[in-house]
Amino acid sequence: MVRIDGIAVAAKVMEETRIRIAALAKRGITPGLAVVLVGDDPASRAYVRSKDRKAAELGLHSVKKELSADTTQAELLAVVAELNADPSIHGILVQSPPPPQIDEAEIVKAIDPRKDVDGFHPVNVAKLAMEDPTGFVPCTPLGCIRLLIEAGIETAGRKAVVVGRSMIVGKPMALLLMKRGLGGDATVTVAHSRTRDLAAVTREADIVIAAIGRPNFLGADHIREGAVVIDVGINRIEDPSTPKGYRLVGDVDYDAVADKCAAITPVPGGVGPMTIAMLMSNCVSAAERLNA
Ligand code: NDP
């Protein structure tokens, strides 16, 4: 069994990104990333802090906008408009989930698609579906494909089952796996909460991508001998033996399936580090394209 090391692959992506940043610096360009946080959800705050820290580490121009929980839709749209117009900013993201008074879909549509480094704008969703490489692809599924490529896992002609159909992970993941070329050309099935006999569906798969949001949900019964498993899930479960009182587990019961797998990503240390590395890479791509 190969344990796919997301920390090592993320470090490689960051190194490539550093080289691209140095090339831009020679032209007097510093990629700028703006992360907007509305409200004080602790998990969102932690994500924003780590994105800001990584951007700063790479020498990006990093702007963190923290808005109060009672920010109105109009106020948030005004912040997005300001960032769209700011030439020092190449990537914009609004941390999800926003408070209930905010219409998230409208906010995503307001972001200039050329600065939409999360790849959530309808223009970028369409470009992914159309296999147009000028769009931005959501960072987590992009990171999963990179992990498969780096681990030398053939996807062409193989059966992949994606469990989850969210716009952030499941759907773009399926589109990437069925895309023509390296890391694609798979025969893809998408499963979700209405799928009948999920275990029978996932047992057919050479490659299982789990993006469900339920701790240790896929067990030995779901995975066939020799399958490759990419576990996107990040779930907190109580664990009084740890200093924080909780620990992170994936959507796959790692201990139950690892011995059956040809390769598997751990949680933490698998997909998680890739997401942030791909975000930095997307931000540098935005700076390159806006200055082409
Ligand atoms: P969503 O809640 O948006 O989507 C979950 C999907 O799982 C839905 O499509 C849902 O089906 C499906 N599902 C739920 N229950 C079942 C079930 N019993 N059987 C089959 N399918 C089921 O979650 P996300 O896609 O945003 O995230 C998924 C996981 O990935 C979470 O643990 C999240 O924390 C993690 N994540 C990790 C990231 C990383 O960087 N590693 C980044 C983003 C997310 P239906 O559509 O029918 O409701």
| pLDDT for position 117 | 98
Ligand 1 atom at minimum distance from 165 CA: 9
181-231 pLDDT per residue, tens? 999 999 999 999 999 999 999 999 999 999 999 999 999 999 999 999 999
pLDDT tier at 51, thresholds 50, 70, 90 = very high
Residue 36, pLDDT > 90, answer yes
**Residues annotated as part of the active site:** 51, 95, 118
pLDDT tier at 151, thresholds 50, 70, 90 = very high
- Quote the ligand 1 centre to 166 CA distance (angstroms): 6
- Quote the ligand 1 centre to 57 CA distance (angstroms): 30
| pLDDT for position 49 | 93
- Quote the ligand 1 centre to 288 CA distance (angstroms): 32
Residue 264, pLDDT > 90, answer yes
57-78 pLDDT per residue, tens? 999 999 999 999 999 999 999 9
| pLDDT for position 182 | 98
pLDDT tier at 43, thresholds 50, 70, 90 = confident
- The mean per-residue pLDDT over the stretch 125-153 comes to 98
- The mean per-residue pLDDT over the stretch 129-153 comes to 98
- The CA-based diameter of the chain, rounded to the nearest angstrom, is 56
pTM for this predicted structure: 0.97
Ligand 1: which of 212, 214, 230 to mutate, judged by most atoms within 8 Å of the beta carbon?
Answer: 212
- Quote the ligand 1 centre to 169 CA distance (angstroms): 8
Ligand 1 pocket by C-beta < 6 Å: which residues? Answer: 140, 163-166, 168-170, 191-195, 198, 211-214, 232-235, 251, 271-272, 275
Ligand 1 atom at minimum distance from 233 CA: 32
